[in-house]
Structure 1
Amino acid sequence: MKVEKRQHWSKKPLDSAEVKQMAVRYGLSLLEASILLRRGITEGKDLLFYLEDDLRFLHNPFLFASMEDAVDRLLAAQEEKEQVFVFGDRDVDGVSATVLLVEALHELGLKPEWKVPEGEETYGLSESVIALAVEKECTLLVTVDCGISNAAEIAKARQAGIDVIVLDHHVSPEDLPLAMAILDPKIPEESYPFPYLSATAVVSKLVWALRFAQTPLYNQRLCLLNVRQGEDGLTVEACHLVNLLVKKRLCLVFTSETPRSTAALLAEFLQDQEIYVWDSGQQTALLKQIFGARALISLFDMAPGILQAFPGLKSLTLPEVLAKSRLPRYFPDTEPLDILVSLFISSVHKKFPPLGSEFTSVLDLVGLSTLADMMPLEGENRILVRLGMQSLNKSTRPGLRSLLMKLKLLGHPLSTTEVSWQVTPVLNAAGRLGEPASAIDLFLTGEEEKRKLLADRLEELNQERKALSQTAWTDILPQARQFWEASGERFALVHDARVPKGITGILASRLMNTLGVPALVMTEQRNKTIGSLRTNRGFETRRFLDAFADLFIDYGGHAQAAGFQMLSSNLEEFKSRLSSMLPQFALTDKTDLTLDLDAEIPLNMLTADLIKIVDYFEPYGEGNRPLIFSTKGLRVLDADLVGKSGAQHLKMTLDAGTAKWPAIWWNALEFLPSAKVVSGSIVNIAYQVGRNYFYGQESLQLTILDLEMV
């Protein structure tokens, strides 16, 4: 009997000329260019984050409007040896952010106190935390992965004489807390250009800024200048730099007809600046053509420092150096001065290793948190996670190494998929079951034996979390289906006091994926109803929550994941209002029955080299799913049903002619009720390519997503 495809396979048609043009411009293979075009990654500003992994392409931390305020306050705490209190959250992002900030404060010579919500304590800053900070005689409180919605608590801290810095990444309420400094890329008025950082990434920006503040360049007024001779005269480009951030630019052209006032304008721009140029002798001579032979001109030559940092440029002229830059391929309007600024920044990273090579060591936790919190893998998140995965795979962080050893994940390079599915759930389990301090201690302790015990404990908690989740899933599914059907298959709602608070988010995610609609799971805790909401299909999460603001004690979250608390006495009013309001929230159509293919691979190209393409498009995660290929005409050499709890998965060996491939089709039995794939069958497949590790040996494997027998 013929086995037919379960889903529609969709492969976006492409213009072959456009594919070739992109391949030539960016130095790509035709297959790489095709995949990028099919995914809609066509603009240079977006391609940069797929093709580059240099720190200089990250956004400058001082783009945060309050970054200098945060840095200066922490430097003052360092100077006065103040007691600093760090308060975080219980999930992977909150744990990682807490660890990173505590380590940074240790670098400053401080001995911070820290705390995250334990046991049944609620999310976010509370009066009890403020009281603890007062008891510890703290004069500075820093919140990480929380705080943006805690205006009242922060006001109480100020009344107690405690300054507060908020490091958060959640959507902000209309009224912001009156903190000493707020770093949150989602604040509407925030000047930082990328809103999708994890909280740990926000902390890493502060860490970099604090390290920069230890250099002589902090808050210094610098000017980069380039004068070039043209056919019609001199072109002068200059910019003011503060903390490696371009603050002001000037471009002037001087010809025989240029009025004297133009030279005065240039002189005013250069006044009181340390002026950096490439080849001070040549630049001085050109400037004297503008200001006169007797003009006193003081310039700093940045060429020696750049050439020391990049010896490969020593034999090149400045035009040749500029021609080697990759910036113009991404930004066609790039000027020579832009390239000099980029070179100057790169040389600073080289000169001060804590800003460059040593900074990458903190990115393991940034990568971990970005994947765990399902931040979109676009923009600078791609570089942060790519470099973070490199750092994570070096296993230089002792606590992380102990955990990977416990999970038997040492000995081979981890992929983002393995981190998302095998590492972050274990760390999250500690917070879900009320012991997030165990995860923080794992990273901060200097005792190897303690690290081993903590790694064991985290895995125990993870197994307990799995058992609790499965029991709760069985309990809540009938109630969820009942509401789903009553709502016209638009929403899933569960209220069950038996559900542990720590797993409401897991259950909501599973309901959303199972039923294909937004899902809300609520439980009870001390006369309060606690809810976790997970949304999809364009559901307007923030508007939904705002509609119940008068019922909530507090609420917040991301576009697709949020939570709230309310008095249990408000529950019935909430349910009533929810049912009447749901029709006002539109859902986009389901796309579950369509497989978007990245490329069709001919039989003769289905070789081991395909894994290089898969690696090229790492990291995978939110907004950048793993590549999906299709191939026609493979012969099945063998096929067997396998599975620990009953034969339900199909394991095969497929013959592509040039290579034989092991393949697995998970839960295949669901789709093969009346037909079998047998040896000798010819099949067309949609699949992903990955690695399989067994006793330290690596092999490649196809994961079948859909199949048809022809």
Structure 2
Amino acid sequence: MEWVENSLTYSQDELSYYSRAFSVEQLTTKLLFARGITNEELFSKYAYPSMADLHDPFLLSDMKKALVRIIRAMKNQEKIVIYGDYDVDGITSAAILYRALHFFKADVTALLPTRRDGYGLTVSAIERMVLLDPALIITVDNGSNAHEALRFAATKGIDVVVTDHHEINGPFPTCHAFVNPKRSDNQYPNPNLCGAGVAFKIAQALFQASSTLEWRIHAWYYIELAALGTIADLMPLTGENRLITKLGLSKMNLNPSPHLRVLFSLLNLSLIDSSTLSFLIAPILNSCGRISDPNEALKALISDEPQHEKLASFIELNKQRKLMTQECFQILDQTIQNRKLHHQNVIVAQGDYPEGLIGILAAKVTDKYQKPAIVITAEGKGSCRSVQNSSFSIINAISHCAESLKSYGGHQAAAGLTVELHMFDHFNAELQKAAALEPMKKPNKIYDSHLDICSFSNILFEDMLLMEPFGMMNPKPIFLNSRSADSIQYFGNKEQHAKLNINNKEALLFNRAQLLKQDGLRPSFLYSTNSYEKKNFVINELNHQLFS
């Protein structure tokens, strides 16, 4: 992978003018320009978004129809069951909608599948919900392609409102209402809402339909979970998604909800940013869905009072999940090397891997080999990942192999599938052919500027915080350091991590310290900010030749 500096250039007059207009450093102005923030109006919405800028939820097709049915159920005290998913987006979307309907005194229950149950609305899921005698089922973060389950629900006399954000593979589902920002007939400006974002829009529609309640006040009760779901599900952090996540982070830092306040306290967190959600909070909630029961996480988020012991148990569960992941990846990586699977267009590995960990394992394979990856369990359930920031669409590739699959779904960056084991070889062969037709250009590692760590000022740290949240389509700025480290300290139980000291500033290198030991002090590396409080850095790439 080549290191390439962002080649965009601007006149000194432009940089000087907008640096003053934005009240940021000139380097920050260049970073903003590179993200399309090129005038005062765009900067104001980027840096200081307002709840007033949220789009009208009724621009989503079928939103009015969905709302009328939900309100009728509430007025008639009909039983409503919310059916979500086992990941963070599914958990938070169910929690948002439950909180909103509970506020309006609906007779509502929320239910999530476990990994063993499988993803999405299924006939068996409907059979379980029939025992609750619902008049209305509302899906969140699933249902767009659940045609068989929806037909079965209709035979039971149950209305279903499908709310989802996943790609629609074929005709629209036959249901009472179908709310999905990816519908081709939408007038909604943001097709990239996550499941929690769609649930947030339903809550918005409910409050806007009320003549006595002010949405801009009540929105703060839901926006933290919408922000968490958006970041956890790797949605583009532009436009309305950025608004939701930035305001959600603001709420978490200024006045977090009681449940999150307890969780932050247990983790000794005082400043919450996008990395906190991505690498600390989301994995903790995800661990419930990966190796335990996601319904426990849901109950903790919708309980009247924070459950200290339950939240603490989630933290311990995530530690267990990390150890399991580490052990499984060592086995998986050895398999890839032994079988030379990394020579495939898409790295496909099948074996005895825990279903709850295959998504993480696929992501780790993709990160190491910079190729799309699919990890499949011994039972035939698979998790798929594209290379981050590449144009390769994993959902397009596997859709060409649909005849070999029992089921599949997802989007450009990530997908899930189930394959019959006797069809595995055929599926893999067809997949490699399909992948050859997809854009497979190996992405360069783009860095924003050559700036030695010793020149990184405290003002720049403040500017980086202003640019938060970082994620898809608003990546954290990456800089090139060419100054050698003054000293190195190794840490971790196997000394797998390292802290490089450069002119009284610290840069952390995770899981790759052995490269320093075998090659000595490297004169250059790519880095980004790590902690705004400690004002330290994290090393992204130590030397590109080592990872090519």
TM > 0.5? yes
In the other structure, the counterpart of 1:205 is 201
Deviation at 1:648, TM superposition (A): 5.1
In the other structure, the counterpart of 2:546 is none
Aligned: 1:397 with 2:257: yes
Say which of 15, 18, 24 aligns to 2:14.
18
In the other structure, the counterpart of 1:274 is none
Change (3 A) 1:153 1:110: same
Say which of 86, 89, 93 aligns to 1:93.
89
8 Å contact 1:611–1:690 — kept in the other structure?
no
8 Å contact 1:125–1:150 — kept in the other structure?
yes
In the other structure, the counterpart of 1:453 is 309
Change (3 A) 1:523 1:654: closer
Deviation at 1:33, TM superposition (A): 2.2
Change (3 A) 1:671 1:8: farther
Aligned: 1:589 with 2:442: yes
Change (3 A) 1:553 1:60: same
Say which of 545, 554, 566 aligns to 2:407.
554
8 Å contact 1:88–1:94 — kept in the other structure?
yes
What SS does the corresponding residue of 1:476 show, helix, strand or coil?
helix
Equivalences for residues 172-251 of structure 1 within 5 A: 172-215=168-211
In the other structure, the counterpart of 2:499 is 651
CA–CA separation in structure 2 for the residues paired with 1:689 and 1:76: 50
What SS does the corresponding residue of 1:562 show, helix, strand or coil?
strand
Deviation at 1:608, TM superposition (A): 1.8
Which one-letter code corresponds to 2:250 in the other structure?
Answer: Q
Query: Which piece of structure 1 moves more, 662-671 or 362-371?
Result: 662-671
Aligned: 1:80 with 2:64: no
Which one-letter code corresponds to 1:100 in the other structure?
Answer: I
Deviation at 1:460, TM superposition (A): 2.9
In the other structure, the counterpart of 1:347 is none
Aligned: 1:641 with 2:495: no
Which one-letter code corresponds to 1:356 in the other structure?
Answer: R
Equivalences for residues 292-303 of structure 1 within 5 A: none
Which string of whole-angstrom CA distances, capped at 9 and with x for unpartnered residues, describes residues 570-596 of structure 1? 3233234334444333401231xx441
In the other structure, the counterpart of 2:354 is 500
8 Å contact 1:155–1:177 — kept in the other structure?
no
8 Å contact 1:398–1:443 — kept in the other structure?
no
Deviation at 1:62, TM superposition (A): 1.2
What SS does the corresponding residue of 2:534 show, helix, strand or coil?
strand
Which one-letter code corresponds to 2:508 in the other structure?
Answer: I
Which one-letter code corresponds to 1:464 in the other structure?
Answer: Q
Q: Which runs of 5+ in 1 are unaligned?
A: 217-351, 678-682, 693-697
In the other structure, the counterpart of 1:670 is 515
What SS does the corresponding residue of 1:465 show, helix, strand or coil?
helix
Deviation at 1:551, TM superposition (A): 2.7
CA–CA separation in structure 2 for the residues paired with 1:684 and 1:623: 26
Equivalences for residues 311-710 of structure 1 within 5 A: 352=213, 354-394=214-254, 396-409=256-269, 412-448=270-306, 451-481=307-337, 485=340, 488-496=343-351, 498-525=352-379, 529-536=380-387, 537-591=390-444, 594-598=445-449, 600=451, 606-630=456-480, 638-647=486-495, 649-655=497-503, 660-666=504-510, 667-671=512-516, 673-676=518-521, 686-691=526-531, 698-705=533-540
In the other structure, the counterpart of 1:233 is none
What SS does the corresponding residue of 1:68 show, helix, strand or coil?
helix
Which string of whole-angstrom CA distances, capped at 9 and with x for unpartnered residues, describes residues 397-429 of structure 1? 2332332233232xx111111221111111001
What SS does the corresponding residue of 1:699 show, helix, strand or coil?
coil
Deviation at 1:544, TM superposition (A): 1.5
Change (3 A) 1:46 1:568: farther
8 Å contact 2:396–2:412 — kept in the other structure?
no
CA–CA separation in structure 2 for the residues paired with 1:609 and 1:45: 23
CA–CA separation in structure 1 for the residues paired with 2:406 and 2:2: 46
Deviation at 1:456, TM superposition (A): 2.8
8 Å contact 1:49–1:382 — kept in the other structure?
no
Which one-letter code corresponds to 1:688 in the other structure?
Answer: S
CA–CA separation in structure 1 for the residues paired with 2:22 and 2:6: 26
8 Å contact 1:166–1:182 — kept in the other structure?
yes
8 Å contact 2:161–2:177 — kept in the other structure?
yes
Q: Which runs of 5+ in 2 are unaligned?
A: 544-548
Superposition misfits of 4+ residues, deviation over 6 angstroms: none
8 Å contact 1:49–1:380 — kept in the other structure?
no
Deviation at 1:671, TM superposition (A): 4.1
In the other structure, the counterpart of 1:250 is none
CA–CA separation in structure 2 for the residues paired with 1:462 and 1:181: 37
CA–CA separation in structure 1 for the residues paired with 2:153 and 2:525: 60
Equivalences for residues 17-56 of structure 1 within 5 A: 17-20=13-16, 22-23=18-19, 29-42=25-38, 47=43, 49-56=45-52
Change (3 A) 1:570 1:649: closer
Which one-letter code corresponds to 2:156 in the other structure?
Answer: A
Change (3 A) 1:571 1:676: closer
8 Å contact 1:686–1:705 — kept in the other structure?
yes
Change (3 A) 1:668 1:10: farther
In the other structure, the counterpart of 1:129 is 125
TM-score norm. by structure 2 comes to 0.90
Which string of whole-angstrom CA distances, capped at 9 and with x for unpartnered residues, describes residues 369-395 of structure 1? 111111111111111000111122245
8 Å contact 1:688–1:702 — kept in the other structure?
yes
Deviation at 1:11, TM superposition (A): 5.4
Which string of whole-angstrom CA distances, capped at 9 and with x for unpartnered residues, describes residues 142-171 of structure 1? 000101110221122122111111110100
Deviation at 1:207, TM superposition (A): 0.2
Which one-letter code corresponds to 1:192 in the other structure?
Answer: Y
Which one-letter code corresponds to 1:130 in the other structure?
Answer: I
Change (3 A) 1:429 1:122: same
In the other structure, the counterpart of 1:249 is none
Say which of 163, 169, 174 aligns to 2:165.
169
CA–CA separation in structure 2 for the residues paired with 1:650 and 1:44: 41
Change (3 A) 1:31 1:586: closer
What SS does the corresponding residue of 2:368 show, helix, strand or coil?
helix
In the other structure, the counterpart of 1:115 is 111
| Larger Rg over CA atoms | 1
8 Å contact 2:397–2:431 — kept in the other structure?
no
Deviation at 1:691, TM superposition (A): 2.6
What SS does the corresponding residue of 1:615 show, helix, strand or coil?
helix
CA–CA separation in structure 2 for the residues paired with 1:67 and 1:116: 23
Which one-letter code corresponds to 1:619 in the other structure?
Answer: P
The two structures, once aligned, show a CA RMSD in angstroms of 2.8
8 Å contact 1:426–1:458 — kept in the other structure?
yes
What SS does the corresponding residue of 1:166 show, helix, strand or coil?
strand
> Which of the two has greater strand per residue?
1
What SS does the corresponding residue of 2:243 show, helix, strand or coil?
helix
TM-score norm. by structure 1 comes to 0.71
8 Å contact 2:453–2:505 — kept in the other structure?
no
8 Å contact 1:118–1:435 — kept in the other structure?
yes
CA–CA separation in structure 2 for the residues paired with 1:707 and 1:118: 39
